[in-house]
Amino acid sequence: MKNATKVAMGGALVAPAASAQTKAAVKKDATGKSQKAFPFTTVVSFGNLLFVSGIGCRVQGTIEEETKWVLDEVEKNLVAAGSSLEKVLKVNIFMEDIKQFDRMNAVYKTRNWGTVFPARNTVQPAALPAGDYGLAIDCIAYV
């Protein structure tokens, strides 16, 4: 917090110089799968960070069922990349109907996010991609 205050007050933080033995972080596909069908990667790793692309619901149901389905898919991707929901730092939720926020949130809060919930944004975009129902979720986690 001391450093956050310093930055907020206009001070600069300087990271310690990396030693010659420090391995440089490299952007790579953390899924190990071919991504030729779409112009994006489902999970990208950079150092110990994981960036999970937006995962939309592919099955129609209630918002509760759709939320569970998407969170299950997010969790599968995290586990496959060596992480878990407990290591999620930031979540973005894109809802087709923001009026269903409380119902979505009732399912979201039952998941094992660890002792601290991740930072989160929830918005209603103009539209979800074709074939997605209810909501889409992306996140940033660590390994």
Give pLDDT tens digits for 67-104.
999 999 999 999 999 999 999 999 999 999 999 999 99
pLDDT per position as a tens digit, 49-64: 999 999 999 999 999 9
CA angle 90, 107, 96 (to 5 degrees): 75
82-96: string of b/e by CB count within 10 Å (b at 16+)? ebebebbeebbbbbb
The band of 125, judged by pLDDT with boundaries at 50, 70 and 90, is very high
- What predicted TM-score, i.e. pTM, was given to this entire model? 0.78
Q: Average of pLDDT values for 114-119?
A: 97
Query: Where is mean pLDDT largest: 23-32, 34-43, 52-61?
Result: 52-61
pLDDT band at residue 8 using 50, 70 and 90 as cut-offs: very low
Look at residue 6 in the predicted model and tell me its pLDDT: 44
Which amino acid type is present at position 11?
Answer: G
Higher pLDDT, 51 or 1: 51
